[in-house]
Amino acid sequence: MAIDQHFQDIQLSELRAIAQRRNAEGWRAVQTHCVNAEEGIDITYTFEREGIYENFRIRGVQKTDEVPSLQDMFLGLFPFENEAHDLFGVNMIGMVLDFQGAFYDLAMKEPMTVISPEQKAAREKAAKIAAAKAAKAKAAAAKKAAEEGEGE
């Protein structure tokens, strides 16, 4: 039996409206899944109805972003949302069942966000390269603007 499932990237601002529509249409929330990605935390919300699975992925969630809880519509998401908070540091707002960071007894804070020294070095190198490219582009734009100003 093939599983009918679809994936769609969405913005964080769209999450509540999508969940409200799915709730009104009789979908059930199956899970919330987090992944520590290069640009932040990727969060996938999965809804199911009549054997069809719809997955909505929010990419690059930062620790400062406020992620609205969906527990008021789908109470069964409480373990997933508490896990996202405790293991990944996701700033979940408005949880009905909020374990206040104690859903798991952890030896360290946000263990799923730990990266290897190699990953850290690669990210720092990429950031330096991006900053150098941006500075070079800015200098080229300033030079061009100055040259155009002289020609008038």
The CATH number of whichever domain residue 58 belongs to comes to 3.30.460.80
Domain encompassing residue 95: 4-114
- State whether 21 and 91 are in the same domain: yes
Residues 6 or more apart in contact with residue 49 via CB below 8 angstroms? 22, 25, 26, 27, 28
- State whether 33 and 73 are in the same domain: yes
User: What are the φ/ψ torsions at residue 26 (nearest 5 degrees)?
Assistant: 85, 15
- State whether 78 and 23 are in the same domain: yes
Output the six-digit token pair for 98.
Answer: 């909020």
15-24, 119-128, 134-143: which range is least confident on average? Answer: 119-128
- State whether 82 and 148 are in the same domain: no
Q: Residue 151's pLDDT is what?
A: 60
Section 3-17 average pLDDT: 95
pTM of the predicted structure, to 2 decimals: 0.71
- State whether 145 and 102 are in the same domain: no
- State whether 23 and 95 are in the same domain: yes
44 burial type by CB count under 10 A (0-12 exposed, 13-18 middle, 19+ buried): middle
Structural domain total, the chain: 2
Question: Contact, 96 vs 79, CB < 8 A?
Answer: no
Output the six-digit token pair for 60.
Answer: 């690059």
- State whether 41 and 92 are in the same domain: yes
- State whether 128 and 92 are in the same domain: no
Rounded to whole angstroms, the Cα distance separating 119 from 104 reads 26
